[in-house]
Amino acid sequence: MGDAMEPGLGVNPKPVLGIPHLSDYFSPLMQFMNSLPADEKVILVGHSLGGLAISKAMEIFPEKISVAVFVAALMPGMTLDAATIYNESSSGAFTLDNRITFDNGPTNPPTTFSFGPKYLASYVYQLSPIQDWVLATTVVRPLYLYSLDDISKEIILSSKKYGSVRRAYIVSADDKALPKEFQQLMIEKNPPDQVEEISGSDHMPMISKARSTIYSSYSYCQQMTSYLIILIQLVLHIHDE
């Protein structure tokens, strides 16, 4: 699964301008969840923006999810909605060599966003092995800039459905792209069942602190279930720490 599941990411060939609505971005995950047998459950792990994707799945398919794990991810809730955390978390991203495009004309809102090599080195991979940063600069692809209105309409969460799914949050302590303070705010406003913190990790804890990330995810999930783990925007690389 991983990034290959997401349109506009990984090996998924769909171009970014072909997914102009958040529902388009979520579609592969929703199709997968819908295809699961009624008696089968999965563990969903969301990293970064993947937190929005698994939150949507939790609301639509709560009976098919055993545990949801948020790894340095956006975690909306009933008191801190998805549009708010998306807007707040992205406010510092339009800096250094990051790029935006205006495919609908200069008088309309920007349509896509791309990370630049300098930003990736300074804010995303600053504690990761240099070879992973180099690889990231060669495979980075643009992200569609969804409107806050679209996000608000697409992600509406309820305590009855979303709130019924067990959640864990893994804090990346030295994350510069999604600072620890913001991660803690989401946790405070929308408390999960368990919180783990990984020290010395950047925005890519599955790379900068791979063993710690895997252990934190596994130790919690092992308590809850032995079902299949589905990775959403989380590719695990094993490095010596």
- The catalytic site residues sit at 48, 175, 203
Q: Do 149 and 140 meet the contact criterion of CB atoms below 8 Å apart?
A: no
Residue 186 identity (one-letter amino acid): M
Q: Dump the DSSP string for the chain.
A: -GGGGSTTSTT----GGG--SHHHHHHHHHHHHHHS-TT--EEEEEEETHHHHHHHHHHH-GGGEEEEEEEEE----SSS-HHHHHHHHHTT-S-TT-EEE-TT-TTS---EEE--HHHIIIIISTTS-HHHHHHHHHH---EE---HHHHHHH----TTTGGGSEEEEEEETT-TTTTHHHHHHHHHHS--SEEEEETT--S-HHHHTHHHHHHHHHHHHHHH--SPEEEES--------
CA pair distance 152, 130, nearest whole angstrom: 37
